[in-house]
């Protein structure tokens, strides 16, 4: 199970890359509507994003799933998506009633429109599948070697080619099996929508429970981009912005929790803090509460009590499910382009159904969360912020005493460059693969501003930071590049293990590897290379590949300069 969770981490991260563009698209779409600024080209610009979400998912998922985020994976995702969709269209059989009674000149246009509409309903699933194929193929084939007469098509150039072949197979599956696939999707959507309040309750509960693993993004993608159908547009979120009056059921219930409930939890934690600690934690808790209220980003709050009080978090998940049910029973339909915060509430107010009902429901949730948190914190003597036995680091204040700034400080707390195999981020958390979890300084990470840590597997680590996660990930990558290589650590030692300076003809970095062309491979000392930090050594007929991970760039740079 842990191995499966580790393998699913890149998927959750990859799905967030295309979703990150939706707030801007939703803003353009709403501001351009007649009830706001009434600027047609602005509304059309926003609609262009929603109309091409499948393509965006193909690009974003491919880049996010590729081990180094290379653009070649995104190109491969586009190739796979276009071949799959256009190929499938050619295989679709248009029902006779679609063109019945039409003049001959209009038949071709009607058939094309029907095919476009039919495939549009599947565009997001096809985009996600295309992105996963392209990302996986990039990881497998981006360093592929071919015979010299085919060398132009080797490596990264091979990835779009093989992804296109996969797209052709995908087109055949969709085209020949369209009636079954479409029927299954319709049946699934009707079952979810038909489950009514029970389905909404389960969705709300599972959404909060899966936050622990970071896999709630997968569940959200089904609800927001697949379920339901309105004039050929699928998904609760997409249908809401397309004007479906029934859309919003899978979003409305988050507003009472994120705008009122969790900020009230912050107030309860502040009031429960020791008197001498209130000033120290007040700024942090106020920042978390405002972030949740304004933007709907709540994970930093949830991780302050998720592991301290699992029972309290279980109550939070049930209350989230209950909020979904309550808003549905009150026929409240709210939507968002980013999350359930004040900005989205105000922006989409005129497009919502009974939006003012949020106020009384929200106030009830504020009182409920505040009372529950005050009671449970006191009763169980929970060490929430401000109640710790030892003083904690100043709220959100990132300590950067380590030379090299914040990225270097985080890298040191993660056990150093040799311990970090990969660094990624989603909206609110770092997603890391480490060599040794025991080398992590948990207290040091919390002193740097981490709100919580999740270990989905023996090697996977998630560090909850809030909206700054992506910036911190970039800084850690920069620190990894600049970090000295573990082991004996200088270029002369590496050259000696490679058979001497004169034995090295060329040095090239490719992703996490250093590719070497040597005069004689017999001069290699594999044991010495591994002692210097190489994770693996692949010997070829003309040289060797050193597998180094994030440190490959620094090693290649030093070797090139020394040889």
Known catalytic residues are: 426
Contact 332, 252 (CB under 8 A): yes
Q: Residue 502, SS3?
A: helix
Contact 216, 210 (CB under 8 A): yes
The residue whose two tokens read 């959404």 is 207
Radius of gyration (C-alpha) of the chain in whole angstroms: 27
Q: How far apart are CA 288 and CA 370, in angstroms?
A: 15
Phi, psi of 402 (to 5 degrees): -65, 135
Contacts of 374 (CB under 8 A, 6+ apart): 268, 271, 272
Diameter of the chain by CA atoms? Answer: 83
What is the end-to-end Cα distance of the chain in Å, rounded?
A: 46
50 burial type by CB count under 10 A (0-12 exposed, 13-18 middle, 19+ buried): buried
Token code pair at residue 512:
């996490």
Q: How far apart are CA 273 and CA 374, in angstroms?
A: 10
Which contiguous run of DSSP H or E holds residue 423? strand 420-425
Give the residue from 431, 458, 455 showing the smallest Cα distance to 442: 455
Packing angle between helix 71-91 and helix 158-176, nearest 10 degrees? 30
Q: How far apart are CA 44 and CA 186, in angstroms?
A: 28
Token code pair at residue 142:
């981006």
Token code pair at residue 360:
């009384």
Q: Residue 433, SS3?
A: strand
Contact 382, 307 (CB under 8 A): no
Contact 490, 36 (CB under 8 A): no
Q: How far apart are CA 79 and CA 161, in angstroms?
A: 8
The residue whose two tokens read 């650590």 is 489
Token code pair at residue 60:
């974003």
Contact 289, 301 (CB under 8 A): yes
Contact 521, 541 (CB under 8 A): yes
Token code pair at residue 397:
């204040």
CA of 324: how far to CAs of 247, 362, 374, 459, in Å? 13, 12, 24, 35
Phi, psi of 348 (to 5 degrees): -105, 20
């Amino acid at each position: 199970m842990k191995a499966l969770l580790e393998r699913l981490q890149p998927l959750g991260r990859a799905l967030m890359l295309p979703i990150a563009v939706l707030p801007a698209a939703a803003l353009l779409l709403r501001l351009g509507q007649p009830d706001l600024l009434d600027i047609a080209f602005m509304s059309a610009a926003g609609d262009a994003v929603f109309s091409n979400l499948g393509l965006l998912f193909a690009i974003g998922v491919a880049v996010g799933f590729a081990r180094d985020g290379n653009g070649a994976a995104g190109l491969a995702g586009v190739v796979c998506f276009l071949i799959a969709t256009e190929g499938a269209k050619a295989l679709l059989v248009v029902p006779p009633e679609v063109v019945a009674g039409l003049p001959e000149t209009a038949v071709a246009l009607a058939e094309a429109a029907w095919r476009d509409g039919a495939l549009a309903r599947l565009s997001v699933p096809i985009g996600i599948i295309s992105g996963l194929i392209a990302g996986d193929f990039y990881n497998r084939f981006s360093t592929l070697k071919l015979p010299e007469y085919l060398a132009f098509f080797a490596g990264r150039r091979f990835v779009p080619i093989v992804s296109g072949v996969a797209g052709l197979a995908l087109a055949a599956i969709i085209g020949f099996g369209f009636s079954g696939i479409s029927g299954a999707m319709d049946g699934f959507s009707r079952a979810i929508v038909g489950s009514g309040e029970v389905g909404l309750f389960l969705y709300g509960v599972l959404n909060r429970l899966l936050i622990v693993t970071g896999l709630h993004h997968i569940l959200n993608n089904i609800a927001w981009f697949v379920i339901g159908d309105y004039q050929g547009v699928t998904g609760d979120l997409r249908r809401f912005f397309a004007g479906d009056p029934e859309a919003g059921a899978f979003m409305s219930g988050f507003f009472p929790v994120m705008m009122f409930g969790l900020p009230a939890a912050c107030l309860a934690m502040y009031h429960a803090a020791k008197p001498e600690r209130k000033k120290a934690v007040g700024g942090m808790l106020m920042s978390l509460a405002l972030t949740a209220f304004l933007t709907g980003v709540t994970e930093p709050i949830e991780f302050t009590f998720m592991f301290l009080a699992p029972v309290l978090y279980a109550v939070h998940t049930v209350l989230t499910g209950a909020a979904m049910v309550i808003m549905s029973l009150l026929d409240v339909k709210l939507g968002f382009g980013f999350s359930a915060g004040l900005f989205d509430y105000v922006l989409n107010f005129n497009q919502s159904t009974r939006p003012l009902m949020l106020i009384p429901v929200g106030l009830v949730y504020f009182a409920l969360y505040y009372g529950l948190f005050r009671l449970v914190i006191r009763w169980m003597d929970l060490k929430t912020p401000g109640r710790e036995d030892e003083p904690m680091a100043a709220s959100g204040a990132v300590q950067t005493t380590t030379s090299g700034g914040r990225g270097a400080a985080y890298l040191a707390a993660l056990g150093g460059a040799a311990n970090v195999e990969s660094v990624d981020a989603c909206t609110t958390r770092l997603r890391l693969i480490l060599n040794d979890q025991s080398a992590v300084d948990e207290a040091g990470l919390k002193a740097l501003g981490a709100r919580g840590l999740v270990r989905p597997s023996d090697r996977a680590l998630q560090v909850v930071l809030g909206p700054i996660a992506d910036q911190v990930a970039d800084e850690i990558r920069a620190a990894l590049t600049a970090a000295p290589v573990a082991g004996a650590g200088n270029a002369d030692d590496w050259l000696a293990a490679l058979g001497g300076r004169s034995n090295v003809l060329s040095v090239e970095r490719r992703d996490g590897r250093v590719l070497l062309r040597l005069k004689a491979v017999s001069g290699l000392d594999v044991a010495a290379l591994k002692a210097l930090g190489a994770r693996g050594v692949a010997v070829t007929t003309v040289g060797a590949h050193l597998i180094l991970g994030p440190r490959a760039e620094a090693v290649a740079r030093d070797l090139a300069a020394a040889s």
